[in-house]
Amino acid sequence: MRLFAYARVSTRQQSLDIQIKALKSEGVKDTRIFTDKMTGSHAARDGLQLSTAQGRRGRCCSG
């Protein structure tokens, strides 16, 4: 199974490291983890759009 995942933090001062480590421990490859560093109120999030595009192609998403 090909896993794709999305991780986000609200500010650039926060770190994605813990989320990414958890996703990798579940078998998600580095190249399949999409990320954003911005508040959830921003609708245009590149990482989220890329990860959901993968999901629409019938792939499994985790987040």
What span, in angstroms and rounded, lies between the C-alpha atoms of 6 and 29?
12
Q: Active site residue: 10, 15, 51, 62, which one?
A: 10
Q: Which DSSP string corresponds to 30-46?
A: GGGEEEEES-TT-S--H
Active site (annotated) includes residue 10: yes
Q: How far apart are CA 47 and CA 32, in angstroms?
A: 11
Catalytic positions, written as ranges: 10
